[in-house]
Each structure stands twice: as C-alpha cells, then as structure tokens.
Amino acid sequence: MTIEITATFSMEKVGGRTLRVARWRWDMPGDHPPILFFNGIGANIEAVAPLAEALTDRPFIMFDMPGVGGSPEPLVPYNTFTMSWTARELLKRFGADTVDVMGVSWGGAMAQHFTLQYPGTVRRLILAATSAGMVMVPGKPSALSKMANPRRYVDASFMEKHFRTLYGGLTGGKSEHINRLTPPTPRGYVYQLLCMLGWTSVPMLPFLKKEVLIMMGDEDQIVPLANGRILEALIPNSRLEIFEQGGHLFMLTHREQTLSSIRGFLDAPDRDQKKAA
C-alpha cells in the first residue's frame, strides 16, 4: 500500500544550512499546537510520513537532517545545540511559538536536547525507542553492527534479510517501510553519528518539568526497554508505555496503539487542571 503524502515541502536556508522541510495541515484552524518531529538516524521524511498523515487533527513539521533525504550534504559537522537552534529558527519562520515535540531513536535524543534548550517553546514531549544518550543500556551486537551499516538504506535485499535482527518484534509493513527509505550520503550519515558523540541528557533530566510520554518496545534489539525505564526514573513527570512484541519500529507494527497513545497523551488535561479538578 502506498501512502499519499499531502505535506507542503520547501527548501529552507537557516544558519548557512539548507534543509528540506515538510509541513502538514499548517494553516488548519484548531486549538492544538504543532508537533515538531525529530527522525531516526539516516531516516528521511517519507519514512515517518504515515504517522504525520494519520494525525489528522493537528499540524506536523519535520525536516531531513543535512545529507539525509532531500537536504544537501553538510559542509561542516553540527551538534545538538546548533541543530536545536536551527529547528527553533524554522519554527519562528513558520510562526510556531509553542509546539509538542516528538523524537524516535536518534531523534529522541534531539527531542530531549531541544526541550532542555528551549523549554519555553515546548508544551509536551514524546520519546519513542530512545535513550539518555551515552549513558544507556546497549542493544544486541548483531543488531548494532547492522544498524551502523549504511547498506541497509542502499540495498533492499540486505534490509529484507536483516529486518528482524535490526528492528525486532513483528514485521508487518516492512516492505512499505523499505520502499520509503532514501539512502543518506556517507558524510551526512557520519556527521549524524558524530552529532551525538559523548552526548547525554542524564544530568539535566531530573530538572525537566515537562509532561513526558516514553514509548518503548519490549523486543527492541537496538534500544532495549531498560533505557525507557532509566528515562522514566530520571524524568519527574514522565510515564512509560510498553509495546508488547514491539521492536525498534513499533510505531510501524503497532500503528493504532501508537496513534492512540499519542492522541491520549497530547489531549489530556494539564497537570494543574487535573489538580484543580
């Protein structure tokens, strides 16, 4: 099944970098803030487009990292601080003062950093299949070795053969997912890896005052469930939801549960409203 992408695409130059940006329902009237989404390593916009398409009741924005998807190759490395600044400048350009932030895997680390760097911009935070960075429980070596190989984006047969080792859990929808992937450039992939070198959110997470939903698959071989438990222990106002038989791509294999969890979390009353009631 092919997912039609209804997003508005544009090439935006911010801080010397040109990025391919996708926005869904940006001018739609409503009370919901937009979702700012940070993708996994090497993953292009199309890989997560089905999620954006399915969240029909709210605006959604994401962009390809430098050298990934349709964004030109980076000339110099970047880090979490500069890329968070870049994302904030994009939001200001499109008139978004407040957002809900979501990140998956590598993007979950970016989502944490963005929220810590710009707390006044973020209402709520969703972390999927991610960790606190350098201080993490590592995945299985068999999965990590293949995850680090860019061939998974270039060679469809390689991805098909190692899909379960890479992502664990159920494998429904894998062909559609593989067909949506575009290989990153070698430099783009390496720079994205280097961005998180030595990074951890552990010292700052106890001071994170946002409401946070942590979603983890119990069969994730890349970012094991234990990392979600660490995040829940460190973040004061967090809740962990475990996806049974969920691998690293549980958002694909457990689509309806994922959508229900996201909507339920984002639409729930604020903590202050709950206390008043």
Catalytic residue set: 105
DSSP codes of every residue in 216-268 = EETT-SSS-HHHHHHHHHH-TTEEEEEETT--TTHHHHTHHHHHHHHHHHHHS
Distance CA 62, CA 60 (A): 7
Question: Going by C-beta distance under 8 Å and a sequence separation of 6 or more, which residues neighbour residue 226?
Answer: 137
**Which two tokens mark 13?**
């130059």
- For residues 160 and 154, is the Cβ–Cβ distance under 8 A? no
**Which two tokens mark 81?**
């601080």
Does the CA dihedral 33-258-103-218 come out positive or negative? Answer: positive
